[in-house]
Structure 1
Amino acid sequence: MLRVTLEQWRMFRAVVQYGGFNQAAASIHKSQSSIHNAVSKIENSLNVKLFQVEGRTTHLTEAGKLMLRRANFLLDEAAKLEIVGQSLGQGTETSLRIAVDEMFPPALLYQVLEQVSSQYPLLQVELVESVLSGASELISNADVDLAISPLAFTEGFCEQLCTIEFLAVANPNHALHALGRKLTEQDLKSHRQLVVRDSALTNRSDSGWLGANQRWTVSHLRTSIDMICNGLGFAWLPVSAIQEKLTAGTLKPLPLQHNSKRTMQLYLVFKDEDSLGPAGHSFIHELRNRCNHSD
Structure 2
Amino acid sequence: MKLDQLRAFIAVVETGSFRSAADAIHKTQPGISAAVKALEEQFGFLLFDRNSYRPTLTPEGHAFFLQSQKLMSQALQLENLGNDLAQGTEAPLQLCLSQMALDDNCMSRIKAFQRQHADIALDITTDHLYGVQEKLAKNQCEIAIGPRYGLDDRHAFIELNKITMIAVISPELLATLNTSDTKIKQQSLYAIPQILVNDTTANASENGHRYVLPTGKRWYVNDFQAKKTLLVHGLGWARMPKHCIQAELSNGQLVPIEVENFTSQNQLPIFMIRLRHQTQSSQANAFWEMMKGFSNSTGSDL
State the TM-score bracket (shorter-chain normalisation).
Answer: 0.5 to 0.7
Distance 1:220 1:291 in 2: 27
Distance 1:274 1:129 in 2: 20
Shift of residue 164, structure 1, vs aligned partner: 2.7
Matched, 1:217 2:220: yes
The equivalent of 1:113 in structure 2 is 110
The equivalent of 1:230 in structure 2 is 233
Instruction: Flag the structure with larger Rg.
Output: 1
Q: What SS class does the counterpart of residue 115 from structure 1 fall into? A: helix
Shift of residue 218, structure 1, vs aligned partner: 0.6
Whether the 8 Å contact between 1:189 and 1:212 is mirrored in structure 2 is yes
Q: What SS class does the counterpart of residue 174 from structure 1 fall into? A: helix
Distance 1:154 1:147 in 2: 16
- Greater shift, 280-289 or 250-259, is seen at 280-289
* Structure-2-length-normalised TM-score: 0.60
Distance 1:287 1:231, change over 3 A: farther
Whether the 8 Å contact between 1:108 and 1:290 is mirrored in structure 2 is no
Matched, 1:264 2:268: yes
The equivalent of 1:50 in structure 2 is none
Of residues 82, 96, 103, the one that matches 1:99 is 96
Q: What SS class does the counterpart of residue 99 from structure 1 fall into? A: strand
Distance 2:119 2:172 in 1: 49
Shift of residue 278, structure 1, vs aligned partner: 4.3
Of residues 117, 120, 125, the one that matches 1:123 is 120
Question: Residue 104 of structure 1 aligns to which amino acid in structure 2?
Answer: A
Distance 1:135 1:122 in 2: 26
Shift of residue 217, structure 1, vs aligned partner: 0.5
Shift of residue 279, structure 1, vs aligned partner: 3.2
Whether the 8 Å contact between 1:153 and 1:269 is mirrored in structure 2 is no
After superposition, the C-alpha distances for 1:104-150 in whole angstroms (9 at most, x for unaligned) are 13322322222222222232211111110001111011110001132
The equivalent of 2:64 in structure 1 is none
Of residues 126, 135, 146, the one that matches 2:143 is 146
After the TM superposition, which parts of structure 1 deviate over 6 Å for at least 4 consecutive aligned residues?
none
Distance 1:106 1:164, change over 3 A: closer
Alignment of 1:34-73 (within 5 A): none
Of residues 251, 276, 279, the one that matches 1:275 is 279
Residue-pair matches, total? 207
The equivalent of 1:136 in structure 2 is 133
Distance 1:236 1:138, change over 3 A: same
Shift of residue 154, structure 1, vs aligned partner: 3.0
Q: Let me know the Cα RMSD of the aligned residues.
A: 2.9
* Structure-1-length-normalised TM-score: 0.61
Distance 1:147 1:274 in 2: 13
Question: Residue 125 of structure 1 aligns to which amino acid in structure 2?
Answer: L
- Greater shift, 264-273 or 115-124, is seen at 264-273
Distance 1:162 1:108 in 2: 8
Shift of residue 292, structure 1, vs aligned partner: 5.1
Distance 2:187 2:254 in 1: 22
Distance 1:230 1:212 in 2: 23
Q: What SS class does the counterpart of residue 162 from structure 1 fall into? A: strand
- Greater shift, 126-135 or 204-213, is seen at 204-213
